[in-house]
Amino acid sequence: MFQFKHFSVQQDNSALKVGTDAMLLGACVASENASSCLDIGAGTGVISLMLAQKNPALEITAIEIDAASAIDCRANFSNSNWSKQLTCLEADFLSWSTEQPFDLIVSNPPFYQNSLLSNHALTAQSKHAVFLPFEQLFEKVTRLLTENGVFWLIVPFQDLEFVSEIGNKNHLKCSQQITIEGKPGKQVRVLMAFQKHEQKLAKQTICIRTENGNYTSQYIELTKEFHSKNLYEQNKI
């Protein structure tokens, strides 16, 4: 069980546990002006729960292909303060049929484009883009996104240009780019926001830890409404 400030996450069944990527995406995505949201590859549902905490009026549909993870996701939704606005569907996003448009679409997608597949089938499914190719992901997201909607995802930093090109091919333009550094100067991830209408690209860098391994004040302030522990105090331990 992973305890957040305002909700808890059961993760006994899920292949991948709550991690920094989900925390960053959930903390950075603005959900205040959206009324409908789609979470692709929801896992335990942590990103959906974070967005619901930000906007208790947001109606969220979470799609998860793995049956075991969907069990955790449904339990976490049911046990939260926002159970009435959260729905978890066990389905393959690429074959899932819907006509509903969404103001906000988020995904912490499978990646590791060029690495060897894991021997553990569930971990492989969760981490590798062969199970959810970016080309097909963007193609379907474009169809489901409202005219002024926003699509957010987090990918390895080295895939920045690759993902930008796929977005362009599907008529989605990157409007926000948040580079994540594990430590100063060490770029590990990038959060990207895509929209149908071209915007001036806003860039930002967030560093998670200092050179000595403590959490940065930047990361602590970003996530303080979600962490149940005081990370400033944890730095002193």
pLDDT tens per residue, range 92-139? 999 999 999 999 999 998 653 333 333 444 343 334 333 458 899 999
15 vs 205, higher pLDDT? 205
Q: What is the mean pLDDT of residues 67-88?
A: 96
* Mean pLDDT within 35-44: 96
Residue 76 · residue 86 · CB < 8 Å:
no
- Greatest extent of the chain over all pairs of C-alpha atoms, in Å: 51
Helix axes 160-169, 134-144, angle to 10 degrees: 50
- Give the pLDDT score at 231: 76
Residue 236 confidence class, pLDDT cut points 50, 70, 90: low
CATH of domain 2-236: 3.40.50.150
For the chain, state the CA radius of gyration.
17
Helices 46-54 and 20-28: crossing angle in degrees, nearest 10, is 30
Sign of CA dihedral 61, 153, 135, 67: negative
- Which residues, listed in sequence order, are joined to residue 128 by a DSSP beta bridge? 111
- Residue among 73, 41, 62, 53 at smallest CA distance from 4: 53
What share of the chain in percent tops pLDDT 90? 77
Determine which helix (DSSP H) or strand (DSSP E) holds 75, and give its type and residue range.
Answer: helix 67-78
| Residue ranges of domains in the chain | 2-236
Q: Angle between the 67-78 and 46-54 helix axes, to the nearest 10 degrees?
A: 30
With a CB cutoff of 8 Å and minimum separation 6, the contacts of 194 are 138, 141, 150, 151, 152, 167, 172, 173, 174, 175
Q: What is the pLDDT of residues 198-230, one digit of tens each?
A: 999 999 999 999 999 999 999 999 999 998 877
d(CA 97, CA 55): 26
**Beta-bridge partner residues of 36:** 59
Q: Residue 41: left (phi > 0), alpha (psi -120 to 50), or beta?
A: left
